[in-house]
Amino acid sequence: MSERPYRVIRRRPSRQIHVGSVPVGGDAPISVQTMTNTITADVAGTVAQVRRMEEAGADIVRVSCPDEDSTRALRQIVAQVQVPIIADIHFHYKRAIEAAEAGAACLRINPGNIGAAERVREVVKAAKDHGCSMRIGVNAGSLDRHLLEKYGEPNPEAMVESALEHARILEDNDFREFKISVKASDVFLAIAAYEGLAEACDYPLHLGVTEAGGTRIGTVKSSVGMGWLLKKGIGDTIRVSLSADPVEEVKVGFDILKALDLRHRGVRIVSCPSCARQGFDVIKVVEILEDRLAHISTPVSLSILGCVVNGPGEARETDIGITGGGTLEKEGAANKVYISGVPDHNIGNAEMIDHVVALVEKKAAEIEAAKAADTMADQIAPQTAAE
Ligand code: SF4
């Protein structure tokens, strides 16, 4: 029994598939994905963008393949990046076959849109031959006409029915290595559709609130929609959709998972909004630290609080903590530094940023060293037992 039962999330049991080396569903960590917005045929530009996404922590990247030039480029792109690549295909079954041959780890394609049954068979064969999984992606904005006629509008029932129709086509071809999304730009519709689908099948679910808007509103809508679902245990991989640099999508995706304690990557900063009691300029310090600590991928928690009102309490729960001690006007070496929740030493405002960066880097190195030692011990133990 957890010490804090209100923080427990019981994930919906789902079957596990693979997108290249990344497991999706089952007990796999919830993966974060994004999508390139370069011209796919521009190999250098696309590879450069995928590498930036990799640096930000993306587990999976999707690339549009609207034409033959794109699927040709895909082969070169896949060869130059580490992260598994999903080929985004609409309608053209030949692009799907080419993408599978070019090394795509997964095809995002709706089998019901491909046309004749023979074409579906060919795509499934290509996927099987090349170890590709698939994603069925139902979108409220492009629902099949017969479902719109039946339901009158894109409602949750229509979206779930559409997803299951596409799924049945793949099942009839003896193919079950797929995940499903039922995206909508309306948060209520997306939530209800995913809840319905989660009940109706055990396929892994790719979450997304689509066409969510620019960075601020898109982040809010994605956090509300996906946060609700993830808290209920629904969702195996997520994509935040923003009209912004796709690297932001990765950052926001991880922040949503971090907020729900579902995954940890990089420095998690707890900070106060600041007020007249602050002993240093909290907003400026946090802004600079976010930037200076962006290179750290090891999970480290850091609290930056302007004064003793909430500083010591938050510092007790984080790896490194700073609590403002003086006042903005009368600064001195008055800010308290906490290490592993315990008051350790003081630091002045002028040295604080460099000092915190050094402390966090040191902590991250210690965590990595301990992890490496554990892995080594795990590897040695079976050998010793066998001797
Ligand atoms: S922690 Fe202190 S400085 Fe920060 S908002 Fe609260 S009272 Fe103000």
Q: Where are the domains of the chain?
A: 11-259, 267-370
18: helix, coil or strand?
strand
- Output the CA 307–ligand 1 centroid distance in Å: 5
Report pLDDT for 386: 59
Residue whose CB lies within 8 A of the most ligand 1 atoms, among 309, 316, 318, 328, for a mutation test: 309
Q: What would the mean pLDDT of 374-386 be, rounded to a whole number?
A: 74
Report pLDDT for 209: 93
CATH topology of domain 11-259: TIM Barrel (3.20.20)
* Burial of residue 378, with CB atoms counted within 10 A of its CB: 0-12 exposed, 13-18 middle, 19 or more buried: exposed
Sequence-separated (6 or more) residues with CB below 8 Å from residue 219: 212, 240, 242, 252
Q: Which atom of ligand 1 is least distant from the CA of 306?
A: 3
H/E run at residue 254: helix 246-259
From residue 313, how far is each of 289, 299, 346, 350 by CA, in Å?
21, 20, 17, 24
- The dihedral sign for the CA sequence 137, 115, 178, 81: negative
Model confidence pLDDT, tens digit, residues 84-119: 999 999 889 999 999 999 999 999 999 888 888 899
Sequence-separated (6 or more) residues with CB below 8 Å from residue 15: 25, 26, 176, 202, 203, 204
Sequence-separated (6 or more) residues with CB below 8 Å from residue 228: 191
pTM of the model: 0.90
Report pLDDT for 325: 86
- Output the CA 60–ligand 1 centroid distance in Å: 39
CA distance 87 to 83: 13
Of all protein residues, the one whose alpha carbon is nearest to atom 7 of ligand 1 is 309
Do 11-259 and 267-370 have matching folds?
no
Model confidence pLDDT, tens digit, residues 323-360: 998 665 565 668 999 999 999 999 999 999 999 999 99
- Output the CA 155–ligand 1 centroid distance in Å: 45
Which residues contact ligand 1 via a Cβ below 6 A? 272-275, 277-278, 305-307, 309-311
Has residue 261 got a pLDDT over 60?
Answer: yes
Answer whether 253's CB lies under 8 Å from 238's CB. Answer: yes
Q: Which CATH class is domain 267-370?
A: alpha beta
Sequence-separated (6 or more) residues with CB below 8 Å from residue 368: 298
Q: In angstroms, what is the C-alpha Rg of the chain?
A: 24
* Annotated binding-site residue? 106: no
Rounded to the nearest integer, the mean pLDDT of the chain is 93
Has residue 381 got a pLDDT over 80?
Answer: no
Report pLDDT for 334: 84
Has residue 138 got a pLDDT over 90?
Answer: yes
CA distance 292 to 22: 29
Report pLDDT for 327: 63
Model confidence pLDDT, tens digit, residues 158-167: 999 999 999 9
